[in-house]
Amino acid sequence: MADSTPGAGPPETAGDELVIARTFAARRELVWQAWTEPERLARWWGPKGYAIAVVRFELRPGGTLLYRLRQPDGTEMWGKFVYREIAAPERLSFVSSFADQDGHTVRAPFNPDWPLEILNTLTLHEQNGATALTLRGEPINATADERRAFREWHESVQQGFAGTFEQLADYLAEA
């Protein structure tokens, strides 16, 4: 099941919220596993061309995913998820942040006004053997400048996820 189709049109926005939708030609359980099992997540997460290492993975409310991304030139950056809600296999909620290697939240390397925390909610709906994925993200505990920066980067974030979701589609086709 290699095919996947992007959601129609540009990303939907409601104020600060960014909504990205995509349909994958794979069962919902497999898409869920790709998000919730570290060895699977490490096969597709992150920008194209980056290598990921999952350093900590605690899939439980309050648990943390800590990962390192290595760019092709060897430069590293760290990120983390702190899980809030886990309702297998349909809903996953987590706060994402940039981090240091110890898991402490840090500023984004590309913009000093990027929000420190983004609340993400992933929902999965199976339809005739395919899975409709919706990812909603919105800054939390953010200043007005951080919210503005997030809104200004909506298109760039959507483009980044398009590449990441291409990698997910490729992984699902192999799994």
CATH code: domain 4-47+85-96+107-174 is 3.30.530.20
Partners of 95 in the beta sheet? 82, 119
Six-digit token pair at 133?
Answer: 């994925």
- Asked whether the beta carbons of 97 and 80 are under 8 A apart, the reply is yes
DSSP SS3 for 90: coil
- Asked whether the beta carbons of 26 and 130 are under 8 A apart, the reply is yes
Residue 7: predicted pLDDT:
41
Six-digit token pair at 164?
Answer: 């990441």
Q: What is the pTM of this model?
A: 0.89
N residues, the chain? 175
User: How is the chain split into domains, by residue range?
Assistant: 4-47+85-96+107-174
- Per-residue pLDDT of the chain in tens (175 residues, 90 and over written 9): 333 344 433 344 457 999 999 999 999 999 999 999 999 999 999 998 999 999 999 999 999 999 999 999 999 999 999 999 999 999 999 999 999 999 999 999 999 999 999 999 999 999 999 999 999 999 999 999 999 999 999 999 999 999 999 999 999 999 9
